[in-house]
Structures are given as C-alpha cells and as structure tokens.
Structure 1
Amino acid sequence: MNLKTLTASALLVVAVAACGSSAGTSAPSSVTASSAPAASAAPAGSAAATNATPVTVKDFALDPKDVSVAGTVSLAVTNAGPTVHNVTIRDASGKVLGATKDLTSGQSETLTADLPAGSYILFCSLPGHESLGIKGTLTVTQ
C-alpha cells in the first residue's frame, strides 16, 4: 500500500469516527418533561415550514450564525455540507430544548419550539461539531 492510500484511509477512518454518534450523545427530537417548553421537528415541506426562518448547517458553520425570531420558533434547517449534522437548541444551563434529527447532505427539517423570550444556543450536537464552529445564538422576542 503506498503512502497516499494509507493517508487517505486513515483520514477516512477519522472522519467516520468523528461523525458517528453513540446512543447517549444524540439530542432528543422533542422535550417530554411537562415543565419544559414544547419543541418538535417537521419535514421541510410541511405546513410548519411555511413561515420558518431558514438556517443552513454546513462544514462547519451555521448560516446565519445568529437568529432572532418573535413568538414561536420555527427554523427550516437544511444540511448543505457533505457531513451529517443536526441543529439543537439549548438554554444557558445546558438543557436541550429541541433538535432536528441527524440530517445527511441535502436533507431538510423544520424545528419548531414554543420558548419564552430570551437567548438560547444553537449548535450541532454531534461529537466535536460545536467546537469546530457549528454554534450560534437564537434570540426569542415576544
């Protein structure tokens, strides 16, 4: 095996390992606790997606990085990168309030959440993706 093939194989193994997730690391797609705000995810073509704010996730950024919405949060998330990504909402304490499923390249999903006014963190919950730059802010106004 030549050096180029060996190097390419090693990089592929690292990339696959970085994009995989274990059962305990994925964010829930909805919140079930009765005291938590409601969140859900819907396919991009559904009625929930009609008035949604577009958010593109890619290697390794959110576009736009900072999102501001009034009232109910509705984000039309599209993965424009070659790597699997998701978009997750958490509060300042680290509690996950909603998330899309893991989206492959080209997939879309609408994330809807009823959140009180305030600032939240948008990020990709797959291992290492947030630290690589898939992080932004969500500001909810009433």
Structure 2
Amino acid sequence: MTEKKLTLSLDVRSGLPIYTQIVNQIQSQLVNGILKPGDQLPTVRALAQELRVNFNTVARAYRILDEEHIISTQQGRGTYITEIPPPEVNERLRRESLEALTQRFISEAFRLGFSEREVSQMVRDRLKISKEAITNDSE
C-alpha cells in the first residue's frame, strides 16, 4: 500500500489553530471520499516538513484523529485511515467539516473588510443561485 499524498491548505491568519485545520481537512477529505479506509498517511515528521509546521502540531492533530478512531498508527508500519466510521460519526464529521468551511469563509470575508450584512446577503444570493441550478438540472 502506498502513502496517500495529502493536500492540505493552512491559513495562519484564520484564527483557527493549525492542528485544528489539519484535523478538519483530513476529516473533510474522508467524508468526501478523497481519503479512503486503508489509505496510508504521511508520517508526522514528513507532514510537518511538508507543511512547514512544528512536529508537535502535526502530532497533536494525529493524536486527536486517533482518539476519534479516524486514523490508526501502527508502530513501525505507519498511520492509516481506519474503516469507514459509523453513520452517526460520519454525520458529525460532515457537520464539523461544514462548520470549519463556514468559519474559514467568514474569517476571510471579514479580513477582506466585508460587513456581516454583506456576507449574509452573499450567502443568501449564492444559495438561491445554487438551488435554481439544481432545480434546472433535474428538469
């Protein structure tokens, strides 16, 4: 089995700790089928080097994922995505991924100087457009 290339995008200005961003993105990739049970993840050291973050930051993220039974680290063999989580865990992961995505969006919008009203209106407009597109596609 080959090691899975992780594509993670970290934002040091988001206000969200880096280890939380790593956890959220790995969870999101699992929920979205990018990562699959049995996929091998990079070692803590390799991922820390690749992301240019402290070793302990990645170790903390992996520890959280291991406690959630999302990954399993086997001494001398590597770190792997565990079997598909039960539906209630999967639903929680989906919700947490949406929350993290929403938080990143809101933080970036505020950083760019948009008001709460502008952000809210943009979300409403985009939801309406997406809903119309889905309705038109199904006809």
TM-score normalised by structure 1 residue count = 0.24
Task: Name which one, 1 or 2, has greater alpha-carbon Rg.
Answer: 2
Higher strand share: 1
> Which structure has the highest helix share of the two?
2
Structure with larger RCO (C-alpha < 8 A, sep 6+): 1
